[in-house]
Structure 1
Amino acid sequence: MTDFIHNDFLLESEHARELYHTYAASLPIIDYHCHLPPAEVAEDRKYKNLTQLWIEGDHYKWRAMRQLGIEERLITGSASDKEKFMAWASTVPYTLRNPLYHWTHLELTRYFGITDLLTPDNAAAIYDQVNEMLKDDEFSARGLIRRMNVNVVCTTDDPLDELTAHKQVAGTEEGFRMLPTYRPDGLINAEKDEFADYLRLMGQNTGVKIRDWESLKEAVMKSIRYFHDRGCRLSDHGLPHAYGEGVNEAKASAILKKRLTGTDICPEEEASFKSAIMHFLATCYDKMGWTMQLHLGPIRNTNKAMLERIGIDAGVDSIGDFKQAEELAAFLNKLNEKGSLPKTILYNSNPADNEVFATMAGNFSQEGIRGKVQFGAAWWFMDQKDGITRQIEALSNMGLLSCTIGMLTDSRSFLSFPRHEYYRRVLCNILGDDMQKGYLPKDMKWIGKVVEDICYNNASEYFKFPRSVGKNLKAV
Structure 2
Amino acid sequence: MKKFMDEDFLLESETAKTLFHDYAEKMPIVDYHCHIQPQEIAENRQFDNIAQVWLGGDHYKWRLIRSNGTPESKITGKESSDREKFQEFAKALPKAVGNPLYHWTHLELKRFFDCDITLNENTAEKIWDLCNKKLRTSEMSVQGIISNSNVKLICTTDDPADSLKWHKKIRDDGSCSAKVVPAMRPDAIMRIDAEGYSDYIVKLGKIADIEIKTINDIRQALKKRMNYFGDMGCRVTDHALEYVFYNPADDAKINTIIAKALKNEKISNDETEKYQTVLLTFLASEYSKRDWTMQIHYSALRNNNSNMYSKLGPDTGFDCLATYNCAEGIVAFLDSLNKDNILPKTIFYSLNPADNTMIGSVIGSFQGPGVFGKIQQGASWWFNDSKYGIVNQLTNIANLSILGNILGMVTDSRSFLSYPRHEYYRRILCNFIAKLVENGEYPNDIDYLGKLVQNISYYNAKKYFGFDI
TM-score under structure 1 normalisation?
0.96
Amino acid at match of 2:13: S
Spell out, residue by residue over 1:186-240, the C-alpha distance to the aligned partner (whole angstroms, 9 max, x if none): 1100011211111111111011111112111111111111111111111101111
How far 1:243 moved relative to its partner?
A: 2.7
> Are the equivalent residues in 2 in contact too, given 1:300–1:317 (CA < 8 A)?
yes
The number of residues matched between the two structures is 467
Choose the corresponding residue for 1:224, options 212, 223, 226: 226
Choose the corresponding residue for 1:192, options 191, 194, 203: 194
> Are the equivalent residues in 2 in contact too, given 1:4–1:115 (CA < 8 A)?
no
Question: Where do residues 313-392 of structure 1 align in structure 2 (5 Å cutoff)?
Answer: 313-392=315-394
How far 1:133 moved relative to its partner?
A: 0.9
Q: CA–CA distance in 2 between the matches of 1:291 and 1:455?
A: 18
Q: CA–CA distance in 2 between the matches of 1:90 and 1:66?
A: 11
Spell out, residue by residue over 1:150-203, the C-alpha distance to the aligned partner (whole angstroms, 9 max, x if none): 000110011111011111111213221111010111110001121111111111
Q: Secondary structure at the match of 1:216?
A: helix
Q: CA–CA distance in 2 between the matches of 1:214 and 1:130?
A: 53
Q: CA–CA distance in 2 between the matches of 1:265 and 1:86?
A: 46
Question: Where do residues 416-435 of structure 1 align in structure 2 (5 Å cutoff)?
Answer: 416-435=418-437
Q: CA–CA distance in 1 between the matches of 2:73 and 2:148?
A: 33
Q: Secondary structure at the match of 2:275?
A: helix
Which residue of structure 2 lines up, in the alignment, with residue 66 of structure 1?
Answer: 66
Spell out, residue by residue over 1:107-151, the C-alpha distance to the aligned partner (whole angstroms, 9 max, x if none): 110111101111111110110111111111110111111111000
Runs of 5+ unmatched residues, structure 2: none
Which residue of structure 2 lines up, in the alignment, with residue 91 of structure 1?
Answer: 92
- The question of 1:260 aligning with 2:262 is answered yes
How far 1:247 moved relative to its partner?
A: 4.1
> Are the equivalent residues in 2 in contact too, given 1:3–1:116 (CA < 8 A)?
no
Q: CA–CA distance in 2 between the matches of 1:359 and 1:178?
A: 34
Q: Secondary structure at the match of 1:345?
A: strand
Which residue of structure 2 lines up, in the alignment, with residue 249 of structure 1?
Answer: 251
Spell out, residue by residue over 1:14-54, the C-alpha distance to the aligned partner (whole angstroms, 9 max, x if none): 00000111110010000000000111111111100010011
Which residue of structure 2 lines up, in the alignment, with residue 9 of structure 1?
Answer: 9
- The question of 1:204 aligning with 2:206 is answered yes
Q: Secondary structure at the match of 1:180?
A: strand
- The question of 1:147 aligning with 2:153 is answered no
Question: Where do residues 56-205 of structure 1 align in structure 2 (5 Å cutoff)?
Answer: 56-77=56-77, 78-171=79-172, 172-205=174-207
- The question of 1:463 aligning with 2:465 is answered yes
> Are the equivalent residues in 2 in contact too, given 1:382–1:388 (CA < 8 A)?
yes
Q: CA–CA distance in 1 between the matches of 2:340 and 2:200?
A: 30
> Are the equivalent residues in 1 in contact too, given 2:41–2:143 (CA < 8 A)?
yes
Spell out, residue by residue over 1:236-275, the C-alpha distance to the aligned partner (whole angstroms, 9 max, x if none): 0111112312242221122112212323222111111111
In the TM superposition, structure 1's runs of 4+ consecutive aligned residues that sit over 3 Å from their partners are none
How far 1:395 moved relative to its partner?
A: 0.5
Amino acid at match of 2:147: R
Which residue of structure 2 lines up, in the alignment, with residue 470 of structure 1?
Answer: none
Q: CA–CA distance in 2 between the matches of 1:212 and 1:310?
A: 34
Q: CA–CA distance in 1 between the matches of 2:429 and 2:17?
A: 11
Runs of 5+ unmatched residues, structure 1: 468-475
> Are the equivalent residues in 1 in contact too, given 2:245–2:328 (CA < 8 A)?
no
Aligned-pair Cα RMSD in Å: 1.1
Amino acid at match of 1:461: K
Q: Secondary structure at the match of 2:296?
A: strand
> Are the equivalent residues in 1 in contact too, given 2:245–2:326 (CA < 8 A)?
no
Amino acid at match of 1:83: E
Amino acid at match of 2:318: V
TM-score under structure 2 normalisation?
0.98
Q: Secondary structure at the match of 1:410?
A: coil
> Are the equivalent residues in 2 in contact too, given 1:3–1:115 (CA < 8 A)?
no
Q: CA–CA distance in 2 between the matches of 1:333 and 1:170?
A: 38
Which residue of structure 1 lines up, in the alignment, with residue 282 of structure 2?
Answer: 280
State which drifts further: 73-82 or 1-10: 1-10
Amino acid at match of 2:71: E
> Are the equivalent residues in 1 in contact too, given 2:159–2:186 (CA < 8 A)?
yes
> Are the equivalent residues in 1 in contact too, given 2:143–2:177 (CA < 8 A)?
no
Q: CA–CA distance in 1 between the matches of 2:218 and 2:312?
A: 33
Which residue of structure 2 lines up, in the alignment, with residue 301 of structure 1?
Answer: 303
How far 1:2 moved relative to its partner?
A: 7.1
Q: CA–CA distance in 1 between the matches of 2:252 and 2:336?
A: 18
Q: CA–CA distance in 2 between the matches of 1:217 and 1:433?
A: 50
> Are the equivalent residues in 1 in contact too, given 2:411–2:419 (CA < 8 A)?
yes
Question: Where do residues 393-412 of structure 1 align in structure 2 (5 Å cutoff)?
Answer: 393-412=395-414
Q: CA–CA distance in 2 between the matches of 1:131 and 1:215?
A: 51
Amino acid at match of 1:431: I
Residues 2 and 125 of structure 1, relative CA distance in 2, 3 Å threshold? farther
Choose the corresponding residue for 1:311, options 310, 313, 316: 313
Q: CA–CA distance in 2 between the matches of 1:247 and 1:3?
A: 60
Amino acid at match of 1:306: M
Q: CA–CA distance in 1 between the matches of 2:300 and 2:194?
A: 18
